[in-house]
Amino acid sequence: MHDLYESPLIKRYASKEMSNIFSDDNKFSTWRKFWIALAETEKELGLNITQDQIDEMKQHIHDINYEEAEKREKETRHDVMSHVFAYGIQCPKAKPIIHLGATSCYVGDNTDVVIMKEGLLLIRKKLLQCLKNLRDFAMEYKNLPTLAFTHLQPAQLTTVGKRACLWIQDLVCDLEYLDFVIDNLKLLGVKGTTGTQASFLNLFENEHEKVKKLDDIICEKMGFKNKYFKVTGQTYTRKQDMIVLNALSSIAESAYKFSNDIRILQSLKEIEEPFEKNQIGSSAMAYKRNPMRSERISSLSRYVIINSLNPAITASTQWFERTLDDSANRRIVIPESFLAVDGILNLYINITSNMVVYEKVIEKHIKEELPFMATENILMEAVKKGGDRQELHERIRIHSMEAAKKVKQMGESNDLIERICSDTAFKLDKDDIIDALKAENFIGRAKEQVEEYIKSDVDPILTECSEKMNIDINV
């Protein structure tokens, strides 16, 4: 069918795995799991619920009768009660006790947290793969000198591997934040209409300890032992959504920075993203090799960063125990942000798995700029040979300005070194000057920084995560 709008995030960018996490099947089957956990716990705490009723509910976790739910929702305008009704049709024995004592947010909010955690874990896995790809790239090119830039103007040299470590470090920061968010996600628990648990206190005939245990047991059953909000209104605090989407925004920010760097490097013809054999760069200019994947990262990242403002405003404007102006916004903003970040990381993994480095172009660019950067070293060598520092400094300044004029105004090559070689005041052989112009003399501790950072910070993360998550990340 092509007559209805389909989200490009699902159709073009996100993985099936992430799309499945935010699917109706996953959402509504998780609702049913929470209803089963509620019934089981209420039975364990003494309410008149039978095992037959619970077994019946368990038989229909995944075969959701959508037609019945949709038909009922058209009449009632209430999605949760429509699914309670549809579940009751499939479970006639359990029908009287489904959703007993609960309010809609019991299934809605708790399920949202479960789904967000599933999404965050998938994102974490992909983030680690990006780290692994960049780690290997950094180690491969730790020695390769390249022009560094400040203000997008040539500065001193760095190495290609050292620059990759800047990308890596951003992702390590994101991983630390992501782990914090995952470890601190909390369920709503079982709180009732205004968060006071009054309906459950009534069900358990004012036995407060049983109501407290209800919260504890259900959350543990659903994989969140001791991880639930102790006080709430009808919903969990919407600040939690803000925290989650800020973590996604943080990843998008890092990816955006990386993608912009790659776009500039590809313009300089120093590094290119992978280009497929039959890929078309431009419909008009057949010779073009556009950084399309990096541009797509930039585009999706901008969307995620802007989206992170939504939950902040929602959290700010919830009145007292709750209002419903969060609902429509959350239905769109949360899934779409996850799907977009999933798409971003798919692209990030693809690019970093096979970036192309043009070493001769990088060397050519260094040779064009290095004479200016090497003047201090040349000056010191000339002083060692008996030259006057002040006089030589002035001569270098004049030669540099003339060489720059030839480059910028006449479009000719940089002849600074030839000028210095022919200036007898410097008393230097050409070999002395060439030695002073070796690029490796200008990279400082870039190589060592790469080796030390990878060894001390990156490899331990990859090794630990590989073992814990059963991910094949060899270091």
Q: Which residues are catalytic?
A: 151, 282
Is 86 in contact with 69 (CB distance < 8 Å)?
A: yes
* Cα-based distances in Å from 282 to 216, 240, 267, 288, 290: 59, 43, 15, 6, 7
Q: What is the end-to-end Cα distance of the chain in Å, rounded?
A: 46
